[in-house]
């Protein structure tokens, strides 16, 4: 088969699979409890989430979240209840809005700056044509071969 | 003379030798004096021997329960089994620093005897740097701040015993020495880099001399991290292997920068570009190992792995600052000599991919650093309490990791300088088809979360590129050398170990990525309170509580739940327990794990009826694919060994210019 046809079919299949995975779908009550408890810090543990912790406190918090989900509260309402009780500290992922937004901004800014820096140093235009090496390049190559063999020996 | 006296004396003698060695190495490098260098060599050898004697004395004191030594009294008890007594050497701060110093002394001796033969001046300067660092650590452990042999005026009848978490599992002794070896060996490339800067050598001799050290330290860190994840999984009892805990973060940061270095170094070797960048990466890797030690060993951050508060925090911080000031100063001073000539390559060249990869690794490292430090800084400045944990790191690091996985598939397939359209089509048809099959495989096996489907697609993409590379290499050897298939395959590793070992490492990383994606996407939890005879169903398993009973051992008391497991082809017994050590306030959970290639059944005894043993609350977690993580770690280690093995010597064949041009392509 023609390579390009094959690539086109594969890309379509891949896109289809990813679109299927990304489709919006109803979350079950259990999934919602998991979503919310993953974000909550177990107050008596060292950095573990309420979902993961085996402590009694975490178990009670899981039960409370499950009860709120049964009461048809939204995720935002449930989170607001925990924020009112504990403050932002209870969330393992700091809010984007306030000054804690820096922890989100800095990695993104660093990534953008780094990519810009690298892109600026790349050669633009077509592929360089392979040319015969100059004598200095050959000399450098010879020296390198000799040196690496000496180093490995 | 007791073992404690012997150890303390050995350390003081080693400190004296190390001071001598520092001065001698500096003088020998400056004056190119072979006799003084010989004395530095002898000093390095004896200093190493003496620190080993000190470490062995400590092991002996622990094994014989010599409670007149404070460290033994705090970390050992008469009931501690021999095995856990001996490994008590690295169960707490002072002993760990002793082990660290012993490894550093070993590396110093290695450079003194082997390194100085190949490139005398550079290696002698590097030896001076190593000796200076060794002197610092010897000073540290001979001062009260971290003296492992500090005495007690009156020896207590019995000691406190080791930290409860550190004696529940025979795996405990594995991760710390691996990580310490990895940490300490990063100091060798660092010493050579500093030496190269001091001498003003613009070339890449330091890099050729240390690339095997860089690779080995990287591999030890990587395997140590996976071993640590395994330890957390098997011991901490919450059903996970990674919690973005400060100690885990401290270990992964130098591993990330070191991975970036191992790749960008190839750009310098092939194209003589990125000189100052590679030096900066080596410095960053080394500084991050010290930062990690400072963070986790000084009580600045709390962690399940960290030891108690100690006075060495400020000393380590001073050391870190000194290293950074020295390194950055030297880099700036020599920056004119390190300037690169010309642009790098087109965006679709191998060197460009390495650079993009470097940017991603730097962003990943910065995120871990920021997430670990930010809560501390925020609390110090404004008093605000803030949590940064798993969900934050996952949100930032998962997209970065997926992008890296993508580049891991692309980079090795692109030629240096740039690729043509025909090359792209030839190299990427099979991998793209494989990616489509990978995504479909994820959906069919029930892994439907988007990040996991992407991981499967990219994993298949990378695996296909690796298979393609091996197939091409074998075909080339068969045609060129007339070798049989198996011989050609084996010779790829023997002759081009660095390249093909690297591909094996990539397979290991894909396995780790698949394990993480699968376990994150499809873990199922269940929890129920059972009376003996009752059972609980989860993800096809039936878990029946047969009995709950107390078990007494000399060093601990346990409550054990006997669980009979059936379903999914399993038929076994698991025994999660709650273990009470005399020196620990709370009982420690010890999980019962039924491991399998498809999934692990992780069981925890969460609570029980303390009077009549008539019920127990059993928490279970079915974690698919987690075994691939340990497998992936092992594959990474094997690949690194292949890459680090020296290639057999080739006969030197002088080629005419035209042939050089062809073979260099």
Tens digit of each residue's pLDDT (9 = 90 or more) over B363-388: 999 999 999 888 888 777 777 778 88
Query: How far is residue B226's CA from residue B220's CA, in Å, rounded to a whole number?
Result: 10
Do B286 and B186 touch, CB atoms closer than 8 A?
yes
**B366 and chain A in contact, CB less than 8 A:** yes
Listed range (B61-70, B221-230, B340-349) with the worst mean pLDDT = B340-349
* Partners of residue B603 in chain A, C-beta under 8 Å: none
Question: What is the strand order of the sheet B599-608 is part of?
Answer: B524-530, B616-624, B599-608, B592-594
Q: Please report, for residues B560, B591, B628, the alpha-carbon distance to residue B600 in angstroms, rounded to integers and kept in the order given.
A: 20, 12, 11
Query: Closest partner residue to A6 among B344, B433, B607, by Cβ?
Result: B433
**pLDDT at residue B67 above 80?**
yes
User: Residue A44 corresponds to which tokens in the numbers above?
Assistant: 């008596």
Contacts with B569 (C-beta within 8 Å, 6 or more apart), sequence order: none
Taking CB atoms and an 8 Å cut-off, how many pairs form between chains A and B? Answer: 203
**Arithmetic mean of pLDDT, B83-91:** 86
Place of tokens 């060292």: A46
Q: What is the pLDDT of residues B302-323, one digit of tens each?
A: 554 544 456 777 888 889 999 9
**B450 and chain A in contact, CB less than 8 A:** yes
Is B571 in a helix, a strand, or coil? strand
Contacts with B202 (C-beta within 8 Å, 6 or more apart), sequence order: B275, B337, B338
DSSP A15-27: HHHHHHHHS--PP
**A115 and chain B in contact, CB less than 8 A:** yes
- How many residues does this entry show for chain B? 665
**Arithmetic mean of pLDDT, A66-95:** 87
* Partners of residue A10 in chain B, C-beta under 8 Å: 432-433, 435-436
Question: What is the pLDDT, as a whole number, of residue B661?
Answer: 42
**A134 and chain B in contact, CB less than 8 A:** no
Query: Closest partner residue to B439 among A14, A38, A147, by Cβ?
Result: A14
Do B491 and B597 touch, CB atoms closer than 8 A?
no
CB contact under 8 A, B657 and A127: no
- In CATH, which of 1.10.8.640, 3.40.50.2300, 3.30.1600.10, 1.10.760.10 is domain A27-94? 1.10.8.640
**Arithmetic mean of pLDDT, B509-535:** 90
End-to-end CA distance of chain B: 67
Q: What is the pLDDT of residues B156-208, one digit of tens each?
A: 888 887 777 776 667 667 788 888 899 999 999 999 999 989 988 767 788 88
**pLDDT band (50, 70, 90) for residue B231:** confident
CB contact under 8 A, A59 and B527: yes
Query: Closest partner residue to B432 among A11, A90, A141, by Cβ?
Result: A11
Query: How far is residue B418's CA from residue B352's CA, in Å, rounded to a whole number?
Result: 9
Contacts with B550 (C-beta within 8 Å, 6 or more apart), sequence order: B557, B558, B559, B560, B613
Place of tokens 């402590």: A55
Query: How far is residue B74's CA from residue B8's CA, in Å, rounded to a whole number?
Result: 18
Query: How far is residue B565's CA from residue B506's CA, in Å, rounded to a whole number?
Result: 36
B591 → chain A, closest CA residue? A54
Query: How far is residue B118's CA from residue A149's CA, in Å, rounded to a whole number?
Result: 12
Cβ-defined contacts of A114-118 (< 8 Å, 24+): A114/B358, A114/B359, A114/B362, A114/B363, A115/B356, A115/B359, A117/B359, A118/B344, A118/B352, A118/B355, A118/B356, A118/B358, A118/B359
Query: How far is residue B71's CA from residue B163's CA, in Å, rounded to a whole number?
Result: 12
B394 → chain A, closest CA residue? A93
Place of tokens 């060093």: B555
* Partners of residue A127 in chain B, C-beta under 8 Å: 346, 417-420
**B644 and chain A in contact, CB less than 8 A:** no
CB neighbours of residue B395 within 10 Å: 13
* Partners of residue A53 in chain B, C-beta under 8 Å: 238
**A104 and chain B in contact, CB less than 8 A:** yes
A10 → chain B, closest CA residue? B433
**A48 and chain B in contact, CB less than 8 A:** yes
DSSP B40-61: HHHHHHHHHHHHHHHHHHHHHH
- How many residues does this entry show for chain A? 153
CB contact under 8 A, A110 and B418: no
Q: Where does residue B607 rank: exposed (0-12), middle (13-18), buried (19+ CB within 10 A)? A: middle
Q: How far is A72 from chain B (nearest CA, A)?
A: 22
B31-42: string of b/e by CB count within 10 Å (b at 16+)? eeeeebbebbbb
Query: How far is residue B135's CA from residue B557's CA, in Å, rounded to a whole number?
Result: 44
CB neighbours of residue B540 within 10 Å: 14
**A19 and chain B in contact, CB less than 8 A:** no
Query: How far is residue B611's CA from residue B96's CA, in Å, rounded to a whole number?
Result: 41
In the 8-state DSSP scheme, what is residue B162? S
CB contact under 8 A, A100 and B386: yes
Query: How far is residue B583's CA from residue B86's CA, in Å, rounded to a whole number?
Result: 19
**Arithmetic mean of pLDDT, A53-78:** 88
Query: How far is residue B368's CA from residue B372's CA, in Å, rounded to a whole number?
Result: 6
Helix (H) or strand (E) holding B183: helix B175-185
**A98 and chain B in contact, CB less than 8 A:** no
What are residue B585's phi and psi, to 5 degrees?
-65, -50
Interface test with A, best of B390, B442, B602 (most A CBs within 10 A): B390
**B396 and chain A in contact, CB less than 8 A:** yes
CB contact under 8 A, A115 and B238: no
Q: What is the pLDDT of residues A114-147, one digit of tens each?
A: 999 888 877 665 444 555 566 667 777 777 777 7
CB contact under 8 A, B660 and A141: yes
List, as ranges, residues 78-97 from A with C-beta within 8 Å of B. 87-94
A62 → chain B, closest CA residue? B527
**pLDDT band (50, 70, 90) for residue B341:** low
**A23 and chain B in contact, CB less than 8 A:** no
A22 → chain B, closest CA residue? B450
CB contact under 8 A, A103 and B392: yes
Is A123 in a helix, a strand, or coil? coil
Question: What is the pLDDT, as a whole number, of residue B663?
Answer: 42
CB contact under 8 A, B432 and A146: no
CB contact under 8 A, A93 and B388: yes
Query: Closest partner residue to B363 among A34, A107, A153, by Cβ?
Result: A107
Q: What is the pLDDT of residues B108-139, one digit of tens each?
A: 999 998 877 767 788 899 999 999 999 999 99
CB contact under 8 A, A54 and B432: no
Q: Round the CA-based radius of gyration of chain A to a whole number and report it.
A: 28
**pLDDT band (50, 70, 90) for residue B659:** very low
CB contact under 8 A, B450 and A114: no
* Partners of residue A46 in chain B, C-beta under 8 Å: 245, 302-304
Q: What is the pLDDT of residues B550-601, one digit of tens each?
A: 888 877 888 898 998 988 888 889 999 888 877 777 777 888 888 888 889 9
CB contact under 8 A, A94 and B386: yes
Place of tokens 């008391």: B557
Do B160 and B202 touch, CB atoms closer than 8 A?
no
Place of tokens 């309170």: B529
Is B235 in a helix, a strand, or coil? helix
A106 → chain B, closest CA residue? B367
Contacts with B128 (C-beta within 8 Å, 6 or more apart), sequence order: B22, B25, B26, B29, B195
**Three-point CA angle B153, B157, B159, nearest 5°:** 85
Question: What is the pLDDT, as a whole number, of residue A152?
Answer: 55
Query: Closest partner residue to A151 among B118, B302, B607, by Cβ?
Result: B118
Q: Please report, for residues A29, A39, B11, B170, B304, the alpha-carbon distance to residue B63 in angstroms, rounded to integers and kept in the order given.
A: 55, 45, 20, 17, 26
Do B136 and B194 touch, CB atoms closer than 8 A?
no
CB contact under 8 A, A151 and B420: no
User: Residue B268 corresponds to which tokens in the numbers above?
Assistant: 């310098």
User: Residue B244 corresponds to which tokens in the numbers above?
Assistant: 């973005």
Listed range (A77-81, B254-258, B345-349) with the worst mean pLDDT = B345-349
Q: Please report, for residues B29, B113, B160, the alpha-carbon distance to residue B116 in angstroms, rounded to integers and kept in the order given.
A: 10, 6, 46
Query: Closest partner residue to B344 among A41, A87, A121, by Cβ?
Result: A121
Contacts with B82 (C-beta within 8 Å, 6 or more apart), sequence order: B63
CB contact under 8 A, A21 and B360: no
CB contact under 8 A, B453 and A18: yes
ipTM confidence score: 0.82
Q: Where does residue B596 rank: exposed (0-12), middle (13-18), buried (19+ CB within 10 A)? A: middle
* Partners of residue A44 in chain B, C-beta under 8 Å: none
Please name every residue paired with B147 in a beta bridge, in sequence order, or none if there are none: none
Do B461 and B411 touch, CB atoms closer than 8 A?
no
What are residue B463's phi and psi, to 5 degrees?
-60, -40
Question: What is the pLDDT, as a whole number, of residue B329?
Answer: 92
Where along chain A do its domains lie? Answer: 27-94
* Partners of residue B649 in chain A, C-beta under 8 Å: 149, 152-153
**B429 and chain A in contact, CB less than 8 A:** yes
Question: What is the pLDDT, as a whole number, of residue B275?
Answer: 82
B308-317: string of b/e by CB count within 10 Å (b at 16+)? eebebbebbb
Please name every residue paired with B27 in a beta bridge, in sequence order, or none if there are none: none
CB contact under 8 A, B607 and A114: no
Which of A25, A35, A29 lies closest to A70 in space, CA to CA? A29
CB contact under 8 A, A103 and B387: no
Do B404 and B357 touch, CB atoms closer than 8 A?
yes
The rounded mean pLDDT for chain B is 86
Higher pLDDT: B147 or B461? It is B461
Higher pLDDT: A53 or B254? It is B254
CB neighbours of residue B187 within 10 Å: 26
Which of B208, B192, B373, B178 lies closest to B286 in space, CA to CA? B192
Please name every residue paired with B528 in a beta bridge, in sequence order, or none if there are none: B618
**B655 and chain A in contact, CB less than 8 A:** no
């Amino acid at each position: 088969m023609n390579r390009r046809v094959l690539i086109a079919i594969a890309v379509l299949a891949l896109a289809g699979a990813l679109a299927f995975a990304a489709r919006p779908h109803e979350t079950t009550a259990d999934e919602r409890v998991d979503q919310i408890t993953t974000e909550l810090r177990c107050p008596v543990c060292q950095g573990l989430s309420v979902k993961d912790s085996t402590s009694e406190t975490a178990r009670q918090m899981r039960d409370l979240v499950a009860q709120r989900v049964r009461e048809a509260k939204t995720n935002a309402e449930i989170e607001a209840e925990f924020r009112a009780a504990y403050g932002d500290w209870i969330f393992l992922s700091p809010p984007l809005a306030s000054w804690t937004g820096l922890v989100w901004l800095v990695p993104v800014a660093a990534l953008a700056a780094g990519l810009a820096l690298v892109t600026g140093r790349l050669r633009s235009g077509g592929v360089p044509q392979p040319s015969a090496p100059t004598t200095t390049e050959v000399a450098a190559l010879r020296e390198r071969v000799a040196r690496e063999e000496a180093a490995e020996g | 003379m007791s073992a404690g006296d012997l150890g303390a004396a050995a350390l003081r003698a080693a400190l004296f030798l190390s001071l001598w060695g520092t001065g001698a190495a500096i003088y020998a490098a400056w004056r190119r004096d072979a006799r003084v260098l010989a004395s530095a060599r002898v000093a390095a050898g004896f200093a190493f021997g003496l620190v080993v004697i000190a470490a062995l004395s400590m092991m002996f004191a622990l094994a014989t329960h010599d409670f007149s030594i404070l460290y033994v009294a705090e970390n050992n008890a008469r009931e501690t089994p021999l095995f856990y007594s001996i490994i008590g050497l690295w169960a707490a701060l002072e002993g760990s620093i002793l082990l660290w110093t012993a490894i550093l002394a070993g590396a110093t001796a290695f450079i003194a005897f082997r390194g100085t033969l190949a490139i005398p001046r550079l290696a002698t300067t590097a030896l001076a740097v190593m000796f200076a660092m060794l002197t610092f650590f010897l000073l540290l452990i001979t001062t009260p701040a971290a003296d492992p042999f500090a005495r007690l005026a009156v020896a207590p009848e019995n000691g406190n015993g080791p930290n409860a978490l550190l004696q529940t599992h025979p795996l405990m002794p594995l991760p710390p020495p691996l990580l310490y070896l990895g940490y300490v060996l990063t100091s060798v490339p660092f010493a050579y880099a500093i030496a190269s800067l001091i001498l003003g050598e613009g070339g890449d001799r330091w890099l050729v001399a240390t690339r095997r050290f860089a690779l080995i330290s990287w591999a030890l860190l990587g395997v140590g991290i996976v071993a640590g994840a395994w330890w957390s999984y098997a011991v901490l009892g919450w059903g996970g292997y990674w919690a973005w805990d400060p100690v885990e973060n401290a270990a992964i940061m130098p591993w990330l920068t070191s991975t970036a270095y191992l790749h960008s170094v190839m750009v310098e070797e092939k194209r003589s570009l990125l000189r100052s960048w590679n030096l900066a990466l080596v410095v960053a890797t080394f500084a991050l190992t010290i930062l990690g030690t400072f963070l986790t060993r000084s009580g600045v951050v709390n962690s399940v792995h960290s030891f108690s508060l100690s006075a060495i925090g400020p000393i380590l911080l001073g050391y870190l600052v000194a290293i950074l000031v020295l390194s950055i100063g030297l880099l700036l001073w020599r920056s004119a000599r390190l300037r690169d000539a010309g642009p790098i390559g087109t965006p679709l060249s191998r060197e460009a991919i390495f650079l993009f990869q470097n940017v991603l690794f730097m962003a990943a490292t910065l995120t871990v650093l920021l997430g670990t430090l930010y809560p501390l800084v925020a609390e110090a400045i404004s008093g605000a309490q803030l949590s940064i944990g798993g969900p934050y790191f996952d949100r930032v690091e998962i997209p970065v990791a997926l992008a890296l996985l993508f580049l891991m598939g692309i980079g090795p397939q692109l030629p240096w300088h740039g690729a043509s359209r025909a090359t792209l089509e030839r190299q990427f048809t099979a991998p793209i088809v494989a990616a489509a099959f990978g995504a479909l495989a994820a959906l069919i096996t029930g892994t439907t979360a988007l990040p996991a489907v992407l991981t499967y697609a990219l994993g298949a993409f990378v695996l296909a590129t690796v298979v393609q590379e091996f197939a091409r290499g074998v075909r080339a050897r068969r045609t060129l050398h007339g070798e049989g298939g198996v011989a050609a395959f084996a010779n790829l590793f023997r002759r081009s170990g660095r390249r093909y070992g690297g591909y094996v490492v990539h397979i290991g990383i894909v396995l780790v990525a698949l394990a993480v994606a699968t376990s994150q996407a499809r873990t199922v939890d269940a929890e129920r309170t059972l009376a003996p005879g009752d059972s609980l169903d989860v993800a096809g398993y039936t878990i029946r509580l047969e009995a709950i009973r107390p078990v007494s051992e000399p060093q601990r008391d346990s409550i054990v739940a006997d669980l009979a497991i059936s379903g999914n082809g399993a038929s076994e017994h698991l025994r999660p327990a709650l273990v009470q050590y005399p020196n620990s306030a709370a009982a420690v959970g010890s999980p019962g794990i039924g491991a399998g290639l498809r999934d692990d059944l992780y069981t925890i005894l969460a609570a029980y009826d303390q009077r009549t043993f008539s019920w127990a609350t059993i928490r279970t977690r079915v974690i698919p694919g987690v075994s691939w993580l340990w497998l992936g770690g092992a594959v990474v280690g094997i690949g690194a060994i292949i890459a680090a093995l020296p290639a057999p010597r080739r006969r030197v064949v002088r080629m005419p210019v035209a042939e050089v041009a062809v073979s260099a392509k």
